[in-house]
Amino acid sequence: MSTTPAPLLTVRDLKVVIGGRHILHGVDLEVAASGTTALLGRNGAGKTTTVRGILGLIPRTGSVLLGGEETVRLATHALVRRGIGYAPEDRGVFAALTVAENLRLAERPGAGEPAYDLVHELFPELRQRARQAAGTLSGGQQQMVAIARTLLNGNRLIIADEPTKGLAPKVVSEVAQVLERAAQAVPILLVEQNLAVVRRLARHCAVLADGRTAHRGPAAELLADADAARRLLGVGRARHGDTGTPSAGTPAGTSPGTPARTAAHPAAPTAEADA
Ligand SMILES: Nc1ncnc2c1ncn2[C@@H]1O[C@H](COP(=O)(O)OP(=O)(O)OP(=O)(O)O)[C@@H](O)[C@H]1O
């Protein structure tokens, strides 16, 4: 008899209020114990707020179980010590420091020997570029540094917030490869708008809408269901080989008051073209 492994992270009824405004109304999601789980949704759906809530960066209520332990009342530093690594949307790379210095900054005293072997095995390029200033790296290489930092400390979970945002299609593909390699070592919760990347990497997904969980299930199933993808994500089509076309009506990925984005910062999940 086969049994499904318990999720690594289980979020229940996560609520966030900022400045008196209810941003999350009760988010439920699970992060699988291996591979990549995608957190999806249109702009303003609450993805980054969910990540910030999980990480304790903002006040929140509900339940966040990490490996069965309740963490919702823990401070961020305590969560980091329990093994959650975070690759923020802006990558947080120090441009004036070298690659090696950026990695060294992520070493955590008391977390055991930093896993340089793993990092260099997954990303040999970082060893070759150890003395290069991080500011001179490409966007994809900087993302590699950001992910590598989360792998150094024996983390149990990596949360990556929109790692492909604003990157050229070729670089998107490189970053997808970086994440693919990292997920072999550590489970990833991936906030992502590029559906080609989601298709390539994610086994499971949760979709947020208006601060609530609107859908949970296998990522491939959602992407194969054009109606569901249109309804939940705002893309016209989501089959393999399609290019993304926003559905009619409200521009995909926008909500009232959401500014339109440039091509480099798509307003909506983008389908299939570039990973
Ligand atoms: N600090 C804040 N103060 C007030 N409102 C906020 C704050 N942070 C987020 N919000 C609002 O909460 C809602 C959810 O924002 P969030 O950034 O979590 O969405 P998102 O799904 O990550 O969107 P995007 O894909 O555009 O990054 C939005 O309406 C946003 O304007």
* Topology (CATH) of 9-90+154-166+182-233: Rossmann fold (3.40.50)
- pTM of the predicted protein model: 0.84
Please state the φ and ψ torsions of residue 157, each to the nearest 5 degrees: -150, 140
Residue 126: what residue type?
A: L
Cα of 32 from ligand 1 centre, angstroms: 25
Per domain, the residue ranges of the chain are 9-90+154-166+182-233
Helices (H), 202-237: 219-224, 226-233
Cα of 254 from ligand 1 centre, angstroms: 12
CB-based contacts of 124, cutoff 8 Å, min separation 6? none
Whether the Cβ atoms of residue 192 and residue 40 lie closer than 8 Å to each other = yes
If phi over 0 gives left and psi between -120 and 50 gives alpha, with beta otherwise, what is residue 269?
beta
**Mean pLDDT (whole number) for 93-114:** 89
Whether the Cβ atoms of residue 237 and residue 208 lie closer than 8 Å to each other = no
Cα of 48 from ligand 1 centre, angstroms: 7
Q: In this structure, what DSSP letter does residue 117 have?
A: H
Per-residue pLDDT tens for 22-66? Answer: 999 999 999 999 999 999 999 999 999 999 999 999 999 999 999
| 106 CB within 6 A, ligand 1 | no
Per-residue pLDDT tens for 121-150? Answer: 889 999 999 999 999 998 889 999 999 999
pLDDT value at residue 146: 93
Residue 178 host element (H or E) = helix 169-185
